[in-house]
Amino acid sequence: MNLLGTWIAAGLTVAILSFLYRDNPFYKFAEHLFVGVSAGYWVIYIWAFDVKPMLIDEFLRQAGVEKWLLIIPAVFGVMMLMRWVPRTAWISRWPISFTVGIAAGLALTAQVQGYIIPQIQATLLPLVSIGKTTSETIARSFNNIMIFVGVVCALLFFYFSREHKGALKVGSKVGIIFLMIGFGASFGYTVMARISLLIGRLTFLLQVFGLR
């Protein structure tokens, strides 16, 4: 069974990579299979780790008011499933709106506390940072100055209340350079991650066919 599973995985990998040549039935089959298996996996995952332990098991374990409060999320879940029936699809708007509102609030808080505030703190650095050696002091100070200049110039690029002339124009041009460097590094990191996945699949294929 392990050998059969390995060959199936290798065949599906080749089918997906065949799209590099052109669109073909093998790629479409592998794509639809992947989407279907992913959907089935998440249905089982949500049932096993969310619905059953957090709703059914908790309802059987709890007592008193806490037990009956679990009916509220259960009703919301049933209302959300009404989306499949055209005549009752409007009922699903209530739980979906409730879910989207909670998700937006949590995401906003997470972004502010986990990204914006740490990013601001990372830019509040002394322009002269004393190190153990002279070279370390110069390196730290240079990094802090570059961060300060990059942040200020990038903000000047998005300052549209005045026409970009003189010092404002120069600062915005420098800000563009810093932005392009940041975007390029982010894109390069994404490409590197995708190439790592590709190398992993190619290594797997070479092992299956006995070439490595």
Q: Phi/psi zone of residue 203: left (φ > 0), alpha (ψ -120 to 50 degrees), beta?
A: alpha
pLDDT at 212: 63
Residue 159 predicted with pLDDT over 90: no
pLDDT at 166: 86
What integer is the mean pLDDT of 2-24?
85
User: Cα(61)–Cα(212) distance, rounded to whole angstroms?
Assistant: 54
Averaged pLDDT, 92-112: 91
Q: Is residue 195 part of a domain?
A: yes
User: Is there a domain that residue 81 lies in?
Assistant: no
Report yes or no on 104 lying in a domain.
no
* Residue 114 in tokens: 């986990």
Burial annotation 27-46 (CB, 10 A radius, 16+ → b, else e): beebeeeeeeeeeeeeeeee
In a domain, 18, yes or no: no
**How much of the chain, in percent, has pLDDT values that exceed 70?**
99
pLDDT per residue over 28-46, tens digit each?
Answer: 999 999 999 999 999 999 9
* Amino acid, single-letter form, for residue 33: L
Residue range of the domain that includes 204 = 126-212
Residue 61 lies in a domain: no
Does 176 score more than 90 pLDDT? yes
pLDDT of res. 34 = 92
pLDDT at 122: 81
> Average of pLDDT values for 81-108?
91
Residue 198, pLDDT above cutoff 70: yes
Check if the beta carbon of residue 144 is closer than 8 Å to that of residue 125. Answer: yes
Task: Assess if residue 57 is contained within a domain.
Answer: no
Sign of the CA dihedral running 101, 106, 110, 116? positive
Looking at residue 121, its pLDDT comes to 85
- Checking if the pLDDT of 171 tops 70, the result is yes
Would the pTM count as exceeding 0.75?
Answer: no
pLDDT, average across residues 60-81: 86
Report the mean per-residue pLDDT for the chain.
88
| Residue 149: inside a domain | yes
The closest of 17, 15, 12, 54 to 37, measured between CA atoms, is: 12
211 falls in which pLDDT band (50, 70, 90)?
low
pLDDT at 188: 93
Task: Assess if residue 144 is contained within a domain.
Answer: yes
pLDDT band at 97, cuts 50/70/90? very high
Whether 94 and 83 have beta carbons less than 8 Å apart is answered as no
Count of structural domains, the chain = 1
